[in-house]
Structure 1
Amino acid sequence: MFNKALDTHIQYFLKLNRGFSKGLGYAPHKPILLLSVINLIEKGLISSNRIFITPELVLTFKEIWKKLVDTPHTENFALPFFHLRSEPFWNLVTYNGLDNLLTSSKSIKSFKTLKDNIAFAEIDKELFTLISDSLNSTIFIQALLDNYFPATKEYYFLSEHNSTQQQIEIQILNDPKEQYQSHIKELKNKLDTEEFEEEIFVRGGLFKRMIPKIYNNTCCISGMKIETSKNIQMIDACHIIPFSSSLDDTIPNGISLSPNLHRAFDRGLLTINKDYIVRISPEVKESDSVYSISQFDGFRISLPEEPKWYPSIESLTWHNQKIFIL
């Protein structure tokens, strides 16, 4: 039975509906995305048949694209994620219906539009089960490489010593704020709109992953810590100055908070002063409860091990003055 299912899905993979251009040839986007999905299933970063739009998936798409694509096609993640819906094994689950995604050309408008409207894609459960077997995943990978990338397929297996993800993580961890902001401005001038949207999504996603790790997956105010064996994050990464205003994803512009305290911080119901002491807005009126935020007034937050990762005094001062409700 499994052999028949494997053969069926291999044939689906080998007969993908792909766009064609006289100047460029057939589009490589769909097989690149499928290789990316298989890669993350192998790593355990995709653990069900639901395929979410994550920084890891976008980054993997970019890395595999760099290895395999030798034509001048535009690297665009959103196109294959959306257009794989024409294949029998890929189903899109949307928040608001497909009509909001479509332009007059029946294509998508942008990466942001895709991300804002698509909840996830679903692949056949049978296909997910097949790929989850290491032997079968190797068969799928080899079929995609042989069929679509015969001239470059050997590069797929080259290890990345300095991957895009590693480069961005080093910048988030170590760059001074001014250097990071300057780099973001350079990227905005250099990249087209789609590429820049993907870049900011990836960087924001890595920031959200890294801040809780820096704080030992613990809320720096309440001490709440929840860990699971699954890839589920219960502690939020909170920008002190929003990225839209600061262009700053560096560690000192972040703190780790439980979701309720994150919301209170963003809305100015609490702040943290230059001595890392929590202050609660006098506008907060609440009953005495184990869930109250007033109980943390006067608390000193937990800080990372490395002083260079302490919350920026400049950023905290901005929050004290611009956001905190007195």
Structure 2
Amino acid sequence: MNPEIINWLKNLNTDKSNPWPNEVTNQAPHKPFLLLSVIDGIEQGWIENNYIELSSELSGAFYRYWDEIMGDRNTKISIPFNHLDGEPFWTTNKKNAFLDDKLFDLLKQEKHRDHVRGILLRKYFDNETAAKLIGIGEMSGDIWEKSKELSEMVQNEFVAMHSSKGKTKTSIVERQKRGQSFSLSVKNQYRYHCAVCRSKVITPGGKVIVDGAHIIPWEVSYNDDPRNGISLCKNHHWMFDEHLYTVRPDYTILMSPILSEKGQKMDIANIANTKILLPANESYIPAEEALLYHNRKFEEFHNSL
């Protein structure tokens, strides 16, 4: 590999003045984490050229590494994204950056990509932490690949109820991968907005306000088809699961009469009977069969009161 590029990677300008732990070789790990995230993006296909956007995918990858290794220590992805501008292979332009052509061409090739990843892991992390980071990268790749597989389901006829065969004895890790893959495939289609209130919030730490919520619960349907999903903020996800509202097949919101009872403190006038936000790609619009299932459960719940 080009000695100049190796020199770039081994001599990142990192902060060593703060009390950084031994796990990150007593220096700020921001830049190595961001470069590992860029490598993941190229490997997984959501970075297709050397024009690097400060995207939700890049933020998600960065904060997965950060949270696992640095715990509750706060940071912002903008710190390395902008500070990398001082390195010879990175040019920042507001919320976008350009990666050096030579380095990008190397990262497109698996053997060189693994070499670059190895340089970063050996130079900026101790052995135990490097092993953890490899595992995080592999899990991230698995989640991304699984989310792409789920997205391919929208090309076929919607089937509400799937077989439970082989789906109840998976490991905790596999269940986490499945859940995160589904959530990712749904939230991406709504651009991280809540379908009910249109809220979109991403914290400086990369946390988002929305979940990828199942319409027919997975425990009932075993169905991770994105059309069995809807992007909802934490409040509206809980309310949906508790049958405090439902979404009709024409995508309008039917609120529970419970919310109009005396003593309740929620303004529902601005969402009652309005249409939910739908994905721009019509292939991902919630399936009528799934919505009708939730409508029935909504009705059964209120009839039982």
TM-score for both structures, normalised by structure 1: 0.50
Cα separation, 2, equivalents of 1:6 and 1:215:
38
Aligned match for 1:222, one of 197, 212, 218 = 197
Correspondence for 1:106: none
| Aligned 8 A contact 1:10 1:140 in 2 | no
Correspondence for 1:142: 122
Matches for 1:191-206 after TM superposition, within 5 Å: 193=170, 196-206=171-181
Letter in 2 for 1:164: D
Q: 1:122 to 1:278 in 2, by over 3 A?
A: closer
| Aligned 8 A contact 1:280 1:294 in 2 | no
Aligned match for 1:293, one of 268, 277, 286 = 268
Aligned match for 1:269, one of 235, 238, 244 = 244
Cα separation, 2, equivalents of 1:6 and 1:267:
45
The structural deviation recorded for 1:220 is 1.6
Cα separation, 2, equivalents of 1:224 and 1:9:
37
Cα separation, 2, equivalents of 1:260 and 1:166:
26
3-state SS of paired residue (1:51)? helix
Cα separation, 1, equivalents of 2:64 and 2:292:
43
3-state SS of paired residue (2:259)? coil
Correspondence for 2:147: 169
Correspondence for 1:245: 220
Q: Deviations over 1:125-158 (max 9, x none)?
A: 9xxxxxxx999x865623799x89xxxxxxx9xx
Q: 1:180 to 1:221 in 2, by over 3 A?
A: same
Cα separation, 1, equivalents of 2:24 and 2:257:
63
Q: 1:212 to 1:167 in 2, by over 3 A?
A: closer
Cα separation, 1, equivalents of 2:23 and 2:202:
36
| Aligned 8 A contact 2:144 2:181 in 1 | no
Q: Deviations over 1:196-227 (max 9, x none)?
A: 33222112112223322211222222222334
Letter in 1 for 2:199: M
Q: 1:221 to 1:6 in 2, by over 3 A?
A: closer
Cα separation, 2, equivalents of 1:235 and 1:251:
15
| Aligned 8 A contact 1:171 1:180 in 2 | no
Q: Deviations over 1:24-61 (max 9, x none)?
A: xxxxxxxxxxx999945987634599634xxxxxxxxx
| Aligned 8 A contact 1:10 1:143 in 2 | no
Letter in 2 for 1:141: L
Q: Deviations over 1:247-291 (max 9, x none)?
A: 112211111222222221110110011111111122222579995
| C-alpha RMSD of matched pairs (Å) | 5.0
Correspondence for 2:9: none
Q: 1:138 to 1:181 in 2, by over 3 A?
A: same
Letter in 1 for 2:150: I
5+ residue gaps in structure 1? 12-34, 53-89, 91-119, 126-132, 149-155
| Aligned 8 A contact 2:245 2:298 in 1 | no
Cα separation, 2, equivalents of 1:180 and 1:216:
27
Q: 1:298 to 1:174 in 2, by over 3 A?
A: same
| Aligned 8 A contact 2:259 2:266 in 1 | no
Correspondence for 1:257: 232
Correspondence for 1:51: 67
Give the total of aligned pairs.
Answer: 217
Cα separation, 2, equivalents of 1:7 and 1:276:
51
Letter in 1 for 2:146: I
3-state SS of paired residue (1:296)? coil
Correspondence for 2:165: 185
Cα separation, 2, equivalents of 1:169 and 1:49:
19
Q: Deviations over 1:158-180 (max 9, x none)?
A: x99xx533431122212155499
Q: 1:271 to 1:305 in 2, by over 3 A?
A: same
Q: 1:6 to 1:240 in 2, by over 3 A?
A: closer
Letter in 2 for 1:303: L
Q: 1:262 to 1:294 in 2, by over 3 A?
A: farther
Cα separation, 2, equivalents of 1:10 and 1:234:
30
The structural deviation recorded for 1:10 is 8.7
| Aligned 8 A contact 2:186 2:230 in 1 | yes
The structural deviation recorded for 1:229 is 5.6
5+ residue gaps in structure 2? 1-14, 26-31, 40-57, 76-82, 88-116, 129-133
Q: Deviations over 1:90-137 (max 9, x none)?
A: 8xxxxxxxxxxxxxxxxxxxxxxxxxxxxx9579x9xxxxxxx999x8
